[in-house]
Amino acid sequence: MRAMDSKAQVRPVHWMGSSKEDVRGFPDPVQDDVGYALWVVQQGHVPNSARPLKGFHGAVLEIVDDHDTDTYRAVYTVRFREAVYVLHCFQKKSASGARTSKQDVDLIRRRLQAAERHHRELYGSRGV
């Protein structure tokens, strides 16, 4: 676990779109791993299973978990001080290696914009 901010308070998690329902469809061990990793994020740290998602300049990270022969991802942002936003959860099915599909990237971008609107409505302009 890598430190982000030692003075951070526990931040709430906001699930965008179907991300919460999607993660509930993951196998139980993957749900446990993703849940623990998000708890680490809420504490202000970066879990070992997280890495920056390419194309988002470090504002969006993904938790990667392998189970059996499948790979699962939970994409989130820590752009805001007050909260963690889970943007997308999905099983990696692409045959294109580690690259995230254009469809998934487009969905993540739309949900990031929705998270920004939600954050402004709920928390105002502070913390952006």
Identify which of 22, 28, 19, 4 has the alpha carbon closest to the alpha carbon of residue 79.
4
Contacts 24+ apart (CB under 8 A), 30-35: 30/65, 30/67, 30/72, 33/63, 33/65, 34/63, 34/65, 34/72, 34/74, 34/89
Q: Which helix (H) or strand (E) holds 112?
A: helix 102-123
pLDDT of 121 strictly over 80: yes
Tell me the domains of the chain and their CATH numbers.
2-123 (3.30.2310.20)
29-59 pLDDT tens trace:
999 999 999 999 999 999 999 999 998 988 8
Over range 74-98, report the average pLDDT.
87
70-77 and 60-67 beta bridge pairing: antiparallel
